[in-house]
Structure 1
């Protein structure tokens, strides 16, 4: 089960993408102790959190990638909130509206086998995005790092085997390329550290066969929930599909 709750925030001031980590801390304190401990110990977490702004309204968006996360984080906890206490700022943030969507995982994976997906995708990175490679930050959209991140995150929600495979990753990279981009360099501030990152749009052309095209589209559809790159549980790497993907909602 993939789930997402969008909480529209009331009259928030002095807010930016960087405050996502503060909301993350507030949400973790609301979860049952044992489940929160389990999440803390997990290297790849089955949820993502980010702040986004649309029409001058800020929303806190929390997405989940398996049944337990959806049930505990969304249904049992966040769906019942009308406010969130941010301890760091000693501030109460009120929630005006909540929108909840849930999609069975099989609808995404079924599309891999049954769809004829687009050979051109346009992806928008709506919050600062970056990767780690050989100990360094990478703050431009490298397709190998994007696909690798999405495949590994997908495996977190997998109950029946793993998707990540170096040979498959090579095929995805050989069969696609970035043909245009409109990007902006930006920093994401986290606990006093400025992480170099980027936001903006890229357009990808897929030259491989339909199977590879379906897999790439499926991965980006999943990425709407998981985010891409580092720190997606703290506000980085949120994406939207402008063109392409799989119509399942």
Structure 2
């Protein structure tokens, strides 16, 4: 473990943290994205039982996790993120220090951690400072929906990433969990919706298996351009970046809604 990792793990001030493990499994276990629901069970077993019980009472979970195959390195990656101090301290930091060998009860075999990494550790204030500084101006974002993603609207699954729905999701989570400034202007939601242009997408349907039920979803690339006032574009940039930690859509604690982005513009 590096000195940097030691410093981060010891710091009580981190609001937002993402870690990832390079993993492999016993030959008897197939590594697929629906294994996320099993891995959620592993997390609940590893953390303090009282905190696990507390998390189950939340209507909006302050953490997300998913597994995916990295085509560049040809390895499976398990990523875990949290967006509150409590969840960072009691879940992500605990998971970062778990054994290299985790028993999966439902699969009767082991998951092996080959390498572990702190992807990012930051605070709400640091993100605000970064994205609202005068020398930064992004014009859009390229999203990659890394694990199956879906929304549920009026009791029905919505299997297309409507742009306004993405940012409404992230804005709600920011205002729920932020330890600093909230973004609750009455006009902000409308301004956000009017400032989004879908520039490109390459999506495909992808189902997610959860307790013998198939949930319809989508994966793939999705590019959005920002327009309008600078302040609104800064909000959009901030929320786009924040989305990598929260995930998006339904079942983000169980392996769905994993997302990565690449902001476009200048900084």
| TM-score using structure 1 length | 0.92
Q: Distance in 1 between matches of 2:46 and 2:266?
A: 33
Residues 66-215 of structure 1 mapped to structure 2, 5 A cutoff:
66-100=84-118, 101-115=120-134, 116-160=136-180, 162-163=182-183, 167-215=187-235
Q: Please say if residues 152 and 164 of structure 1, whose CA atoms lie closer than 8 Å, have aligned partners that are also in contact.
A: no
In structure 1, distance between residues paired with 2:204 and 2:83: 29
Q: C-alpha separation between the residues in 2 aligned to 1:56 and 1:240?
A: 17
Q: Secondary structure at the match of 1:80?
A: coil
**Closer/same/farther in 2, CA of residues 64 and 11 from structure 1, 3 Å limit:** same
Quick one: distance in 2 between partners of 1:48 and 1:199? 17
- How far does residue 147 in structure 1 lie from its aligned partner after superposition? 0.9
- How far off is 1:44 after superposition? 0.7
Deviation, structure 1 residue 81: 2.4
1:7 equivalent in structure 2: 21
Offset, 1:16: 0.9
- Answer yes or no: is the 8 Å Cα contact 1:52–1:59 preserved in 2: yes
Instruction: Summarize deviations over 1:136-176 as a string: whole Å, max 9, x none.
Output: 11000101211111112223322346435663111111111
Could you tell me which runs of 5 or more consecutive residues in structure 1 were left unpaired when the two chains were aligned: none
Partner residue in 2 for 1:43: 59
- Aligned equivalent of 2:3: none
Give the 3 Å change call, closer, same or farther, for CA 164–134 of structure 1 in structure 2: farther
**Which residue matches 2:47?**
31
TM-score w.r.t. the length of structure 2 is 0.86
> What are the ranges of 5 or more consecutive residues in structure 2 without an aligned counterpart?
1-14
SS of the residue 1:170 aligns to: helix
1:244 counterpart SS class? strand
Displacement of 1:11: 4.8
The alpha-carbon deviation at position 128 of structure 1 amounts to 0.8
Residue of structure 1 in register with 2:74 after alignment: 56
Aligned residues: 247
For residues 49 and 38 of structure 2, what CA distance do their matches in structure 1 show? 18
Matches within 5 A, 1:236-247: 236-244=256-264
The 3 A distance-change label for structure 1 pair 138 and 221 is same
Displacement of 1:29 in angstroms is 1.2
Question: Could you tell me how far apart the structure 1 residues matched to 2:133 and 2:165 are?
Answer: 27
Query: Quick check: 2:164–2:196 contact (8 Å CA) kept in 1?
Result: no
Give 3-state SS (helix, strand or coil) of 1:222's partner: helix
